[in-house]
Chain A
Amino acid sequence: MKFKNFFFRSVSITGVPIFGLLILIVALFQFVVPIFNATVGDYITNLVPVLLLTVGAAIVIIGGSIDLSIGTVCGLSAGITMWTLASGLPTALSILLGVATGTFFGLLNGFLITKFGINDFIATLATLNISGGLLIVLSQATELYGAESEFFTSLVYGSFFGIPTSFFIAGAIILLMQFLLLKTILGRRIFAMGNSGAAANVAGINVRNVKLATFVLSGTLAGCAGVLLASRLGGVQAFLGLGYEFTAIAGAVVGGVSLAGGRGSAAAALAGGLFIGTLAQGLQLIGVEPIFFGIVSGLALIIGVIFDQKIQDIGQLRSRFDSRVLAQPPRKEGDHG
């Protein structure tokens, strides 16, 4: 009974079911294509930047907005990093500049939306074009490349105990975000704002600043993603990052982050992102023809999300409140004098 309740409680937590499903399909793929496990390291390394974007997208969405610029901003950050490295700046500095680029665009988005009250979709669509355009201009002459820094390439290709460095970096960042969302005051305010901006405002939350914060966070994450991407690719071309935003948002939503705002977590987004990535990888290994790929993955996506929702519903229905708090304290005599 106790265990059963615990079980239902935990599956009712956003992201847990999809994570279960993730494990399921991993097992499935491993069974169908035995070499699957051999490729895990590779495809997750490729996935890491997108996962960071997914978490960034999640933060903004939980706050009740949407950020379309993360993809191209990630690309631009990669470009800036590569460019500065190639032009001989110290590695640490160019990494910093890369991340800063992301933060800057986060701030820009935030200001456009909070100060000028511009619709977030349009504002970030605009910055999507601007950052994408800047990368084109930056990489105009030729593709950006030529980072000689050992340390820089080791960001992704290095490894501790056989586990790629990028895992640790991304893992640390995502953990931090999870903590920030669920345990800190800012996180709580983000959730409040996402659930009901007006009410949060009346309740004494500085909605503007909190919103700004969410965009700065997603921008910065895009910056980090850019740096890792640059490190992995060792070269940056004009269209890098374009379209990542949709993969990221889709990942977050699949993880159970509600576009209505106020629901989800970094871990949930991570689970969703991993789910989509793993799905694609598995289907490729199985050798699904590209022309069928869209249909198959689309189908899998739908099934995944339905599964996730149904399980959560069941969990919420079946998990009972602790019976001790059920009994209402009987009103004492003379409560009303």
Chain B
Amino acid sequence: MSFPTALSTTRSAPIILDIRQISKSYQGVAALENASLQVRKGEIHAVLGGNGAGKSTLIGILSGVTQPDSGEFLLEGSALAPRNPRDAIKSGITTIYQELSLVPALTTLENIFLGRELIIERAGMKVLLDRKKMKNEVIELAQIFGISKDELDIPISEFGALKKKVIEIVKALTFDARILILDEPTSGLEEEERLHLFDHMRNLRSRGVGLIWVTHHLDELHGLADVATIFRDGRTLESLNLENSTVGEITNLMFGIQSNEAGLRTKNDRLQKDDKSNRPEVLSLHAVSRAGVLRDISFSLHAGEVIGISGLAGAGRTELARVIMGIDTRTSGQIFLKGKEVNFKSSAFAYKAGIAMLPEDRKQLGIISGLSVAENISISNLSSVSRFGFIISRKKERELATKYKEILSIRTPSVNQKINNLSGGSQQKAIVARCLNSKPSVLIIDEPTQGVDVAAKTEVHELIRDFTSKGGAAIVIASEIQELLELSHEILVLRNGSIVGRIENVQNSIEKSRVVEIKAEVLALSAGKRLKNEI
């Protein structure tokens, strides 16, 4: 299945980055094997591949975080071997890493300029920071991405995960780099900001910057990326000219099988049209508020139902989840679980009562780094793998983990591998497994498929549907409206911590036209514009 690599014919810009035969292996497991690709001046070069295919490893090497076992890469003809990120940045390679890498203790501004602060010249001495100048330089860009002047002075720790992502993007865009690497910048990012980002990417391209762009959202590629290089199991396969290649072909290459429209097929089998009245109510909120973040949230969730929650960054979606779980306290309102009022002092009680949550911030709140994959999967329901209710059986644990490893195709040499050594997507899968393993009756998922490859995405969706079809109920928070549409029966739109719109019976409205309409509605609602056809 060799594609005609039309590159040479179509594009003739000079090669700016030439990656040659780079290999890297960890504990005898190859993460990269002779990966090679060429990025040309003013080119958006998509890097695609399943979870654990080796994309981030390559990026780690390009940006000096890790050193390759063999191979080299040339930047504008001269060989480059950055020993640390400093070297890479100095030579013009800027990176947005897959995992949030901002400094909690510093303000937005300090983070954006971290490592290249502007200094005032005072009495011939260059010591004092020039905050004003820094602000002026970044404010425009920041505001485009919805970061207010004041937010520049707020410590990062105060922001929700999405805001952080946006800040990171702004940070990357303020560098003038020769090579800009974006490792899944859009995962969990919402429509509007994606478009902004894409504009800026095009803009940079026109300025001759070479962009390396890792994404799992294949539908984003067309009309933006020029070339796509496909990774599988650490090897680079083809470099496709995207003008003449379909999503189908790409997924085939990614997973090495003949599947038509892998990952996009979900549209054809939605959940059955249903009527919530004949299903028992599982969870219901009555005027739940958390001062400053949430106001008068009320809804009821029925068995077998999925409620999707949409909204912009900082709308309060994550907070809502945290409040239901009892991680953050609510200041007023009631929560009923199966008719009984509940008031969880901590998430432990929520789990006991049968509510599980998949957090949004994978790195900080999701994985328990330092523990193995198996240990991460079992942690929320240890009794399921223990004898006499208190002695943990490694064997049971391993079996459990291996089961999920198969189902979700978590790519790791062994379930005893430390989870922080896994690829981003594989980590996400492991946490999904953890939630499911806690056998909940209500599942709260904040950005379920961020960083998960298309194939696994359908699997995750499958698992959620399977979960609800067995009588479970789920709350899905997702910035991708598409994803909400595929999963949920009802969509709530949040703005400034209160529900500004409900779209019911999403399932009835299959027709493409309606889908587009809903998207428009949701966007408008969350952005706060008035709508012609009120719901």
Question: B-contacting residues of A (Cβ < 8 Å)?
Answer: 183-189, 191-192, 195-196, 198-209, 262-263, 316-317, 319-323, 325-326, 328-329, 331, 333-337
Contacts and interface: CB of A to CB of B under 8 A. Distances in A.
Interface in B382-405: 382-383, 386, 389-392
B380 A204 contact: yes
Contacts of A337: 259, 265
Given A319-B27, A326-B29, A201 B414 contact: no
B417 interface: yes
Contact of A184 (B256, B392, B458): B392
Interface string B441-475: 00000000000000100100000000000000000
Contacts of A200: 368, 379
28 contacts: A184-B390, A184-B392, A185-B382, A185-B386, A185-B391, A185-B392, A188-B379, A189-B382, A191-B371, A192-B379, A195-B368, A196-B369, A196-B370, A198-B364, A199-B364, A199-B366, A199-B368, A201-B347, A203-B347, A203-B368, A204-B380, A205-B379, A316-B27, A317-B27, A320-B27, A326-B28, A331-B255, A335-B455
Contacts of B347: 201-205
B240 to A, nearest CB: 20
Interface residues of B, number: 54
A195 B392 contact: no
Contacts of B352: 204
A328 B411 contact: yes
Nearest to A195: B370
Contacts of A322: 414
Interface in B340-363: 346-352, 356-357, 359
Given A195-B371, A204-B438, A263-B370, A326 B413 contact: yes
A321 B29 contact: yes
B480 interface: no
Given A201-B327, A331-B257, A321 B382 contact: no
Most buried by B among A185, A191, A199: A199
Most buried by A among B327, B351, B370: B370
B305 interface: no
B184 interface: no
Complex A-B, nearest 10 residue pairs according to Cβ-Cβ distance, in ascending order:
A204-B351, A206-B348, A195-B370, A336-B262, A320-B28, A336-B259, A321-B413, A185-B382, A204-B380, A202-B365
Nearest to B365: A202
Given A188-B382, A321-B28, A335-B455, A196 B368 contact: yes
B409 interface: yes
Given A198-B365, A325-B415, 18 more contacts: A184-B391, A185-B383, A192-B371, A202-B325, A202-B359, A203-B368, A204-B347, A204-B348, A204-B356, A204-B438, A206-B346, A207-B346, A321-B27, A321-B414, A321-B416, A326-B28, A329-B406, A335-B259
A203 B327 CA distance: 10
Interface string B74-85: 000000000000
Contacts of B327: 201-202
A204 B345 CA distance: 11
Contacts of B259: 334-337
Nearest to A329: B406
Contacts of A185: 382-383, 386, 389-392
B375 interface: yes
Nearest to B350: A204
A195 B375 CA distance: 12
Contacts of A209: 348
Contact of B375 (A188, A205, A208): A188
Contacts of A335: 255, 257, 259, 455
B60 interface: no
A321 B392 contact: no
A322 B398 CA distance: 14
A329 B359 contact: no
Nearest to A333: B257
A199 B420 CA distance: 13
